Every structure is written in structure tokens, then in C-alpha cells.
Amino acid sequence: MTNTDQRPILVLGATGKTGRRVADRLAASGVAVRAGSRHGTPPFDWHDPATWSPALDGVRAAYISYYPDLAVQGAVEATGEFAKVAVDHGVNRLVLLAGRGEEEAERAEEGVADSGADLTIVRSTWFMQNFSEGDFRPQLLNGLVTLPAGDMVEPFVDIDDLADVAVAALTEDGHAGQLYELTGPRLLTFAEAIEEISRATGRDIRYAPVSVEEFAAAMATQGVPQEAIEIFSFLFGEVLDGRNAHLTDGVQRALGREPRDFEHFAQDAAAAGAWDSSQKG
């Protein structure tokens, strides 16, 4: 990656699943990164608009990831207003992380686009890493995963692919105005995904379907924050209805290569100890 612009790129959610990967890739390529978080310098807080301008001063592009999800109340308004502030500061290149098949996310996309920025939209399906470093991991460690997923199929995407797409859009020409809808290379039910993990680990890990209400109660007993429970309940109860049960070519169009398969993700995560049952605590 060659670029003579030495101004930093602002990465919102720089400590989260996607932001951390985007920031690491940029830094590894010699790009200056400004971490957009409450502990960053300067600090950034979605709920405190007074922090937005200092975070945007002197940057050349921004990766927008709204925590916890664009589906929560106030997210559409906040992301749209942030984009306007960014453009006012001369930050015209924006990359927005959005959810696939979510009406609220599409409203946020429209709000950010209304700023007039050179916008790239990255729509993502379910992350593979929800199983290895997310809220499903404790169940996998225990050997029994209870989710309200039924037998619906999803084209799980690897966050590393998503991060590669975001970095390309932030640093290369030709991505402005593009909407990249990202999926993996095949459709899997949640039960099949867990079977892949079971094979990769050599452990007996079972899947049992439950209702959304039973799932929410189980997550609460595991100490999962209520905000996260509500988001997952929304995704399982409304979005996981077949609307996303098809593959797209977003990774291929953005990067010129095939997306990573769930089998390879599971093998690598297992080798790294993601589901080592001795880590139960």
C-alpha cells in the first residue's frame, strides 16, 4: 500500500471486533491511526457529540462502526449527524459498517450518504467470530449451544475479510459510492456451523434449538449485557427469517479474491485455542 498522505485515519470502535482488525491492518501498512474510543486520544463517545470534532480534526478518512448496533434507538440520527460533522471538517472518505437485511441499518446508510461524503457501505452478515470471541463462546466451551436459530441458513462472513474490505476502501481509489454486501462462500445453518467447530476441535459439541425467550434468559444467566441480549433477540427473532439466505459477491468485487470458508475459520480458531474446554471459568 503506497500513499503519501500522512494524516491519520479515524477508526471508530477501535477496540471492537471489526475496528481492532481495521486499525491493526492500517498500522501494519504504515498508516497513522487515530483510535475512536472513549479511551482514545482525543476521546470519542457516540453519546457526547462534543467529542466528535476533536476526534475528526486533521484526519483524512474515517471508519464508522456504531456500538452496539445500528438497530438501537438513536443510531440512525447519530451516524448521520457524525457524517455531516466529518464532511464539515474536510473528511470526505467514509466507510460505514452496516447490517445486512436490517431496515434500521439501511436508514443509517441513507443518513450518512446525505452528508455528501465519498461513502463506501460495508454490509455484513453474521460474523464467524461470534463463535470464537463473542457471546456464543461460553456455550461452545460447555459443549451445548442453545440458540433460537431453527434450521435457517446464513452465509457467515469472516471478520478478517470484512476488515480487508474496509482497509481497501479507506486507502485505495475506486471504492467510493460502492455498496459491498459481504458473505462467506456457502450457506450454513447454525447447527452445521457448530458441527464444523465440533470437528475442528475434536470435541462433542451439540446444538439445541430454543425459543428467543429461552435464549435471552440463558444469556442473562451467563452475564451477557442486556443491550447485547436485545440485539441478538432482534437478529434471531426478526432478521433471521430467510431474507439473507443467499450469497453475494462483495468480497470478490472489493478484493478480487474469494471469501474465507467457515471450515478454515473453525480449523484456525481451534488451533489457536478458541474453544479449549480447559478455559471454562
Q: How far apart, in whole angstroms, are the C-alpha atoms of residue 124 and residue 108?
A: 14
pLDDT the model gives residue 2: 46
Q: Is residue 250 part of a domain?
A: yes
Distance of CA 26 to the CA centre of its chain: 17
Predicted confidence at residue 209, as pLDDT, reads 95
Number of domains present in the structure of the chain:
1
pTM over 0.75: yes
Specify the pLDDT at position 280. Answer: 62
pLDDT score of 142? 94
Quick one: residue 39, left, alpha or beta (phi over 0 = left, psi -120 to 50 = alpha)? alpha
- State residue 279's pLDDT score: 64
Q: What is the pLDDT of residue 1?
A: 42
In tens digits, the chain (281 residues) has pLDDT values of 445 689 999 999 999 999 999 999 999 999 999 999 999 999 999 999 999 999 999 999 999 999 989 989 999 999 999 999 999 999 999 999 999 999 999 999 999 999 999 999 999 999 999 999 988 999 999 999 999 999 999 999 999 999 999 999 999 999 999 999 999 999 999 999 999 999 999 999 999 999 999 999 988 988 888 988 999 999 999 999 999 999 999 999 999 999 999 999 999 999 999 999 776 65
pLDDT on residue 223: 87
Is residue 33 in some structural domain?
Answer: yes
Domain with 83 in it: 9-127+157-183+244-260
Dig out the grid coordinates for 167 from the structure. 482497509
Please check whether residue 152 lies inside any domain of the structure. Answer: no
If DSSP codes are grouped into helix, strand and coil, which group holds residue 36?
A: strand
CATH code (residue 68): 3.40.50.720
203 is a domain residue: no
* Whole-number pLDDT of residue 64: 98
Does some domain include residue 65?
yes
Residue 281 belongs to a domain: no
| 90 located within any domain | yes
Three-class SS state of 113: helix
User: Residue 92: inside a domain, yes or no?
Assistant: yes
Give the residues across from 10 on adjacent strands: 34, 62
